[in-house]
Amino acid sequence: MYDPFPRALCSHNSTPAMPRNDGRNDLYPQLLRRMTGHGDYDRLLWVLTQKLNESGWLDDFRDKSKEMARNADSISAETMMTELRPQAEATIPPKVQQEIMTMIRQYLEKQVEG
Amino acid sequence: MNQDTLAVSAGARLAMCSHVDVYPHDTDDVFRKLRALGTWNIQRLHNAARPSKRRKLSLPMCDTCQSTLRPFACLHCPSTGCWHERHMRDHLEDTDHNFCVDVRTGTIYCNACADFVYERAAARTFAIATIGAEEIVGVARNNRQPFEPWRPNQKESTILQTAISMPCQARRGLLNLGNTCFMNAILQAFLVNPLLRDFFLSDKHNHLLCKNRDCTCCEMDKLFSEMYSENATPYGPASFLATTWRASAELSGYAQQDAHEFFMAALNHIHSTSRGSTKFQCICIVHSTFTGLLQSDVKCGRCGNVTTASDLMLDISLELQDKGSAGHAGSELTLASCLRRYTQPEKLGPNAYDCANCGKVSHADKRLSLRKLPPVLSFQFKRFEHKAGDKAAAQKIEAPVRFPSSINMAPYTSLAMAVREQEGKDGGPDSASSSLPGPASMYEYDLFAVVCHEGQINNGHYTCFARSQDEWYRFDDDKVSHSSLRACLSSQPQVYMCFYVKKHLDYKPYVTPSYKVAREAEAVREKQREREKEAARMREVEDALLATV
């Protein structure tokens, strides 16, 4: 079968990363790989999507981006993202944010324990 | 596997943005890659839902930083780069490669345009591969007809060559014939309903050939022909109204009627005037479009025995008021919260249930769930509380209800209920839904029409929002205006009914309807009888001739 990722390596024993300077934990890449590889990332994303859909946030930005594109002569996706991202991050309902953060925290605690 | 030969032949070019010079040379490879990505995405999501049965899947990682978030694949070489740290864009700059594709969505990015570009053949290839992978993954749907893109055959190509194309977008207003806004709103919702539209516009019930009297199907056919014509002036559906009055006397007269009542009556009339409609397992257009199965499970409070029953349903009516049990107390009303409330266990009274299993009369828990989802889901919000059948003394509940432009119905299905019961969790629809069979798209619906009611119960006014492809329009009797998704979704205090259509339809392999089979058999027998009669006549003539000799 055609493999679109011929050089992909799902390695859990890669050499330790250099100390980071972006404020993130050293274990970040490894944890992220595990989270995406085991499907936990997709599961969390699904829960987040459902909650944001129910609160109307998803439709709000669906409409904002569409009308922004309609009203501009030609606008790139990157420009739209730059303009809408601050609003998007600010309007996430606090309750949803808390619930998802809790789920992430629970996941991380399980990873670090085992 | 699908061979989308329409899209590409060796050496054919992808017609994207203006950057012709920098197209990848091997277009076959590009399409192979897109197909692989489409398939991979579905397998990844399927795997995510089943941690115990996980298969090994290659995981794309950024070549530079090994991030697994939002990877992009170069279309010119096997490189993978992430988006957020600009590593893929750096790769494109460094190598003079120009195009890359977002692994998650199949969208193509052009570096020269510095933007995402849409290319029809590429999008089709990705979409078709996605559907193909979903069919493999959704093993529960064994009797589904596999998807094939439509290709005109010889006869159809000839017809298409000489056909005159005309605009037909059904954006005509409907004249108010005297408090008939209730009918106009529902008719607009019918007109924009993809299944009804396809049925009537493809001449499945031709009013010129039908011999019925007071045939609502003929009225629908006439309505579709008028509204999808080039004429943009408002249309007066007088004959539809007259036929409705004759079929349902309780709806006649010029008083304001309830749109939902009209909706149910119209569905009933269309069903009964449909060719080949039956009382059980009817396949008329109404039943094919709107019928779902509602399951009710009653659990005896004493012995725990569960009795299950299924009923056909054409729509779902949702309560808005809190009857005291855990409902909407405090939080806002949304379609999802109404559905959760609809499917939560309800306690039947202390001696309301006569259990067949233990033979005792006791309390019981009753739970509703959706056993089978229809292609078109209709919701009604019960805003009008009629007291003891007296329409005049009813209250209107003005509470705003938030509804989404798309909804996933998995948490409310009987299957999901069963899975949750087994896993021992109750409430929290989030976890169980991802382990249901089949891809998520099986349960996803898109909003296409909203019927709104303003004012009081007796002197109110009905209007309608309807979506044509991706644009929303507001229909206020004869006044039609271009609207937006935001305006439609802002009608939270007025929303009365909303209509959702399934994202992906499942088709069974085509089977000739039984009435057609019967009709053809009858025609064959008729011909046989004619032949025998003719033969008998010939013998008589011969006998007569012989007699004279």
Reported as a single tens digit per residue, the pLDDT across B141-185 is 566 788 888 889 999 999 999 998 877 777 899 999 988 999 999
Give the SS3 label for residue A82.
helix
The pLDDT of residue A11: 40
Q: Regarding predicted confidence, which is higher, B510 or B115? A: B115
Comparing CA positions, the residue from B311, B442, B462 lying closest to residue B396 is B462
Cα separation, B115 vs A78, whole angstroms:
7
Say if residue B427's pLDDT is above 70: no
pLDDT at B19 over 80: no
Q: Is the pLDDT of residue B5 over 50?
A: no
Q: Which residues of A touch B73 (CB under 8 A)?
A: 4-5
In this complex, do B51 and A62 lie within 8 Å of one another by their Cβ atoms?
no
Report the half-sphere exposure of B17 (CA within 13 A, side-chain side): 15
pTM summary value: 0.85
A29 chain-B contacts, CB cut-off 8 A: 65-67
Distance (Å) from the C-alpha of residue B65 to the closest C-alpha of chain A? Answer: 8
Residues B498-505 have a mean pLDDT of: 93
**Residue B407 with chain A: CB contacts under 8 Å:** 53
Using CA atoms, how far apart are residues B55 and B146, in angstroms rounded to an integer?
24
More confident residue, A5 or B23: B23
Across the interface, of B44, B60, B404, the residue whose CB is closest to A8 is B60
Instruction: Compare CB distances from A36 to B59, B116, B489 and report the shortest one's residue.
Output: B59
| Interface touch A63/B489, C-beta < 8 Å | yes
Which tens digit of pLDDT belongs to each residue from B319-341? 987 654 444 455 789 999 999 99
Q: What chain A residue is nearest to B435 in terms of C-alpha separation?
A: A43
Q: How far is A46 from chain B (nearest CA, A)?
A: 8
Q: What are phi and psi of B71, to 5 degrees?
A: -80, 150
Scanning every residue of chain B, which has its alpha carbon at the shortest distance from the alpha carbon of A32?
B68
Mean pLDDT, chain B, integer: 85
> Does A59 contact B116 at a Cβ distance shorter than 8 Å?
no
Please compute the mean of the pLDDT values over residues B76-83 and round it to a whole number. 89
Is A76 close to B114, i.e. CB distance below 8 A?
A: yes
pLDDT of residue B423: 72
The residue of A2, A24, A27 whose CB has the most chain B CBs within 10 angstroms, and thus the best one to mutate to test that interface, is A2
Q: How far is A37 from chain B (nearest CA, A)?
A: 7
Spell out the domains of chain A, with CATH numbers in brackets: 26-113 (1.10.246.140)
- Angle formed at CA B111 by CA B110 and CA B113, multiple of 5 degrees: 70
- Residue B111 in this model has a pLDDT that exceeds 80: yes
CB-nearest partner of A4 from B37, B66, B67? B37
Q: Rounded mean pLDDT of A14-43?
A: 74
Q: Is the pLDDT of residue B195 over 90?
A: yes
- Give the whole-number percent of chain A exceeding pLDDT 90: 51
Distance from CA of A64 to the nearest CA of B (A): 8
**For residue B2, how many C-alpha atoms fall within 13 Å in the half-sphere facing its CB?**
28
Q: For residues B299 and B277, give the distance between their C-alpha atoms in angstroms, rounded to a whole number.
A: 36
- The mean per-residue pLDDT over the stretch A89-108 comes to 94
Smallest Cβ distance to B66: which of A29, A41, A42?
Answer: A29
pLDDT (mean) for B107-116: 90
For B483-530, give the DSSP string: --HHHHHT-TTTEEEEEEEESS---PPP---HHHHHHHHHHHHHHHHH
Catalytic annotation, pick one of B461, B464, B488, B498: B461
Q: Do B80 and A5 touch (CB under 8 A)?
A: yes
Q: Which has more pLDDT, A14 or B205?
A: B205
Tokens of A102: 């809790």
Would the CB atoms of B61 and A46 count as touching at under 8 Å?
A: no
How close, in Å, is residue B433 to chain A by CA atoms? 10
Percent of chain B with pLDDT over 90: 45
* Residue B361 main-chain phi, psi, to 5 deg: -95, 125
- Ramachandran region, residue B5 (left: φ > 0; alpha: ψ -120 to 50; beta: rest): alpha
Per-residue pLDDT band for B257 (boundaries 50, 70, 90) equals confident
pLDDT of residue B275 exceeding 90: no
Sign of the alpha-carbon dihedral angle for B176, B179, B183, B185: positive
Residue B419 has pLDDT above 60, yes or no: yes
> How many CB atoms sit inside 10 A of residue B216's CB?
25
Band the pLDDT of B392: cuts 50, 70, 90.
Answer: low
Across-strand partners of B348?
B364
Mean pLDDT value of segment B402-410: 95
Q: Identify which has the larger pLDDT, B462 or B429.
A: B462
Q: Give the pLDDT score at B249.
A: 83
Say whether B65 and A54 touch across the interface (CB within 8 A).
no
Least confident window among A47-61, B44-58, B362-376, B493-507: B44-58
Q: Which residue of A has its CA nearest to B54?
A: A38
Residue B91 pLDDT grade (very low, low, confident, very high; cuts 50, 70, 90): very high
As a whole number, mean pLDDT of residues B355-362 equals 81
CB pairs under 8 A between A and B: 108
Interval B451-456 mean pLDDT = 93
Establish whether B110 is a catalytic residue. Answer: no
Handedness of CA A50, A86, B66, B63 (dihedral sign): positive
Note whether A36 contacts B69, CB cutoff 8 Å: yes
Confidence at residue B390, expressed as pLDDT on a 0 to 100 scale: 61
Contact A37 B45 (CB under 8 A): no
DSSP letter string, B317-377: EE--S--SSSSSSSSPEEHHHHHHHHTS-EEEEEEEEE-TTT--EEEEEEEEEEEE--SEE
> In this predicted structure, what is the pLDDT of residue A3?
55
More confident residue, B296 or B42: B296
Nearest CA-CA partner of B456 in B383, B380, B389:
B383
Instruction: For residues B28 and B542, give the distance between their C-alpha atoms in angstroms, rounded to a whole number.
Output: 74
Q: Hey, are the CB atoms on B54 and A38 less than 8 Å from each other?
A: yes
Query: Does B434 contact A5 at a Cβ distance shorter than 8 Å?
Result: no
Contacts of B500 in chain A (CB under 8 A): none
**Optimal mutation site among A9, A57, A58, A59, interface B, most CBs of chain B within 10 A:** A59
Are B483 and B465 a contacting pair, CB within 8 Å? yes
Q: Is the pLDDT of residue B488 over 80?
A: yes
Residue B10 pLDDT > 60, yes or no? no
B41-58 pLDDT, tens per residue? Answer: 888 887 777 766 665 567
Q: What is the pLDDT of residue B349?
A: 80
Determine how many CB atoms are found less than 10 A away from the CB of residue B495: 23
Report the Cα–Cα distance between both ends of chain A, in Å, rounded.
Answer: 35
pLDDT-derived band at B28, boundaries 50, 70, 90: confident
Q: How far is CA A29 from the centre of its chain?
A: 14
**DSSP calls for A33-65:** HHHHHTTHHHHHHHHHHHHHHHTTHHHHHHHHH
How much is the pLDDT for B7?
35
* Mean pLDDT of all residues in B254-271: 91
The answer to whether B65 is a known catalytic residue is no
Share of chain B above pLDDT 70, in %: 88
Interface predicted TM-score (ipTM) of this complex, two decimals: 0.82
